[in-house]
Chain A
């Protein structure tokens, strides 16, 4: 058994790092100004410091109790996030329908049950529904198909 709460120890340390990054970047890139005439960097700098302090508290509190990570999955989040990124990359060069088809098809594999035919059918039905809702119903001016070459 771990003797400290690793989840909060790592999480708190990450918060300290993020806070420090914000503070240092504001300090070096933007004018801080004075308290009565604050520059653009003053508020982000102070908030970065405060974030680090809270992060430190989270990490400190974790040292006095036990705990462990819950299991972290890699494939499911990557597939879901990847499908959204694919949509972002496809929407302008290829148009609405291919992008909608792609995001559904890829996302459907995220439950790790390999069923390509079911997923293709699902993607077809859902992109047809999206066409009815967004293109016909809401009349969004998005090109349905495009060809980048």
Chain B
């Protein structure tokens, strides 16, 4: 029963990790960009939510109406002004530029908001739960997160395979040069992909800020969980990313059940073990 509970909590936690990872998976798949600042952008979204809640008096989740477009606009600008100049065969320029952005965001938040840890208040939602039997109870918030994550990934999947934007994303992912020859403005397409990625980041940022305490330094750890989910799932596969997040969450929950100090370690070891057997991830759609 203890392990059943761990399994269920792990799956729900995996939904959150998939939420961190969906935005990464999208840009990694479309333009092979490893965005080291992704975790810090999640934290930035949480602070934007703090400001929006203060300024407009909105509760946590409704603040997304403002936070999502703000982050999406930031994503488009970052891509057009900065990241597009780094894309090419060499992986160092995007890595270094996003590392630089990561350091800038972390220290900027530190200057603006101090190192104090914060939390977004969501009232009764934070503690509400459904009991299923003696040892298992499901928090409403984790359930909502999981449902949001699945819904977002389903929506991205539809967008990728049913719309003109999605066709453009897949075309540039397959062959940038040919996509350009067909008249696609690749720089604009990449800008849209990054805008979409940061829109997802906004949702992830607000959810994580309701669920746990956050401060300017927590970004890199979220980034690692996101990367692990993307890589376990396989490049370019959004459902694979969800599966990767769930595998990671379950491994962490079982590790935590064995010893609280092993939670994160168990996730990393599951990741390395999967890579040792299948370096391309479980469900790759795109060749790296």
A and B are partners in one complex rather than unrelated chains: no
